[in-house]
Amino acid sequence: MNKKMADLKGKILAGKVLVKPHDADETTASGIIIPDSAKEKPQMGSVILVGAKKKDEEMEVKIGDVVLYGKYGGQELDIDGVDYLLMSQTDVLYIV
């Protein structure tokens, strides 16, 4: 079940972004199926919600942006059965 952005209740604090990680690859380029235990945690996702700007930091990330983040970036959250990452804008490495 996909949650729409408007369906999420709550508020993101200043300087924070809520990211929906993209799914991990199921197969390799040569077609080998990757078991769940060997899948890499995705490091790319779509921005779902954005907090307000901080006094000393403009928010450069917008809703809908696809971003790259560090391997251990963000705090994992489960909201209504959907996995998200809550992170500071500074954890975002690159906007695609």
List the domain boundaries for the chain: 14-95
> What is residue 72's predicted lDDT score, i.e. its pLDDT?
84
**6-34: average pLDDT:** 76
Q: What is d(CA 85, CA 2) in angstroms, rounded to the nearest whole number?
A: 15
- Reference 92, options 71, 72, 69, 63; nearest CA is 69
Is residue 5's pLDDT more than 60? no
> What is residue 1's predicted lDDT score, i.e. its pLDDT?
36
pTM of the model: 0.76
Q: 14-95 sits in which CATH class? A: mainly beta
Whole-number percent of the chain with pLDDT over 70: 72
